[in-house]
């Protein structure tokens, strides 16, 4: 049984042509179509996520991981590029068709309460003009929360769960440390108890000790709340700690997938072997 299922997920930046797919990918050694110049950020990606499962997606910069993450989180709206494929989610009674073909309202409802994205770039995920608490409250208000007291209480408990000092709740989020800003993003993503969490490079750019603490928090939340999550990272250590199964991406394609320990100890694809051998 799957909670989230994706098939043929493709995202192309540029005009696109008939030859885009055959002339890009791992065999072609590029994600840019030599015929029309379009960038095939990801193509033909198939995946499924079971309830309570954590799926890792690894690959180097430009492999298409973040493009895939934003498609899965329905966050590709209003951006450049053409998105194609089938995405189904079993946790929402209101709609069981292809989410990529759903109307704006449905997608908005899913984004608000069911599929949450923790952005790679903090500025994409937080409003730096707001307080930390305000950033989390904003998600709750969008989801229809109205009582001031309920919202305050919920924000407080989310700050506690993600280990952000509650005393800093009303300070501008711009004054928080990098690690705290990640945690506020997590709090914000968890605000409506989403069915699926998409984490895009959850620890990139943090000091090692701060990274470790953020990862510990994610692991604890995963255990306590039985979160279903897709974790995108260039860091195999992050995936080793968090993911049960892992996909390896290169040039916009999934080149290998399997149990995370199998990928790490018995990598099959030439690129995966290079990636494993590159661990410092």
Partner 1 sequence: MTADTDTDADTNSTPGARAARDAGADGDGDGDPPLLAVEGLTKRFRMHALDGREVLGLEEVSFSVPPGGFLAVVGSSGSGKSTLLKCVYRTYAPTAGSVRYRSPEGTVDLASCPDRTVLSHRGADLGYASQFLDEIPRVPAVDVVARPLRAAGTPAEAARERAAALLDRLQVPESLWDAYPATFSGGERQRVNLARAVAPRPRLLLLDEPTSALDPGTRAAAVDLLEEYLDGGTTVVGVFHDPEVIEALADRVLVLDGGTVERELPVGAFDAGVLE
Provide the 10 A C-beta neighbour count for residue 168. Answer: 18
- To partner 1, the closest distance from the beta carbon of 94 in angstroms equals 27
Beta strands in the chain (DSSP E): 4-13, 39-49, 54-58, 82-89, 115-118, 196-200, 228-233, 245-250, 253-259
- To partner 1, the closest distance from the beta carbon of 226 in angstroms equals 12
Which region, left, alpha or beta, applies to residue 252 given φ > 0 means left and ψ of -120 to 50 means alpha? left
Residue 240's Cβ-side half-sphere holds a number of Cα atoms within 13 Å equal to 11
With CB under 8 A as the contact rule, the residue among 50, 109, 122, 161 that binds partner 1 is 50
Task: Locate 275 and state its tokens.
Answer: 């990636």
273 binds partner 1 (CB under 8 A): yes
Strand order, beta sheet including 39-49: 39-49, 4-13, 82-89
Q: Which stretch binds partner 1 (CB under 8 A): 3-11, 59-67, 141-149, 212-220?
A: 212-220
Q: Which stretch binds partner 1 (CB under 8 A): 14-22, 59-67, 102-110, 237-245?
A: 237-245
- To partner 1, the closest distance from the beta carbon of 244 in angstroms equals 6
Question: Count residues contacting partner 1 (CB under 8 A)?
Answer: 20
- To partner 1, the closest distance from the beta carbon of 179 in angstroms equals 15
Q: 218, 183 in Cβ contact below 8 A?
A: no
245 binds partner 1 (CB under 8 A): yes
Q: Which helix (H) or strand (E) holds 278?
A: none
With CB under 8 A as the contact rule, the residue among 128, 141, 274, 279 that binds partner 1 is 274
Contacts with partner 1 by CB under 8 A lie at: 50, 53, 212, 216, 219, 241, 244-245, 258-259, 261-262, 265-266, 268-270, 273-274, 277
């Amino acid at each position: 049984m799957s909670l989230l299922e994706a098939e043929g997920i493709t995202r192309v930046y540029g005009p696109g042509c008939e030859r885009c797919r055959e002339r890009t990918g791992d065999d072609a050694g590029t994600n840019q179509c030599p015929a029309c110049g379009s960038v095939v950020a990801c193509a033909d990606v198939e995946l499924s996520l079971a309830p309570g499962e954590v799926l890792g997606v690894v690959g180097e910069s430009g492999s298409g991981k973040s493009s895939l993450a934003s498609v899965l989180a329905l966050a590709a709206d209003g951006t450049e590029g053409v998105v194609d494929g089938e995405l189904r989610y079993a946790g929402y009674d209101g709609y069981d068709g292809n989410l990529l073909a759903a109307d704006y309202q449905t997608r908005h409802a899913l984004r608000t309460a069911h599929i949450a994205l923790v952005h790679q770039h903090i500025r994409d995920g937080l409003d730096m003009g707001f307080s930390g608490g305000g950033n989390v409250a904003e998600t709750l208000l969008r989801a229809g929360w109205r009582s001031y007291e309920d919202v305050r209480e919920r924000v407080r408990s989310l700050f506690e769960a993600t280990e952000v000092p509650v005393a800093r709740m009303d300070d501008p989020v711009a004054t928080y440390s990098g690690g705290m800003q990640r945690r506020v993003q997590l709090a914000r993503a968890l605000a409506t108890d989403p069915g699926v969490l998409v984490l895009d490079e959850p620890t990139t750019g943090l000091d090692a000790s701060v990274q470790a603490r953020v990862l510990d928090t994610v692991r604890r939340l995963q255990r306590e709340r039985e979160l279903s999550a897709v974790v995108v990272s260039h860091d195999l250590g992050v995936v080793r700690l968090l993911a049960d199964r892992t996909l390896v991406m290169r040039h916009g394609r999934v080149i290998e997938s399997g149990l995370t320990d199998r990928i790490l100890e018995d990598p099959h694809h030439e690129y995966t072997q290079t990636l494993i051998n590159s661990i410092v």
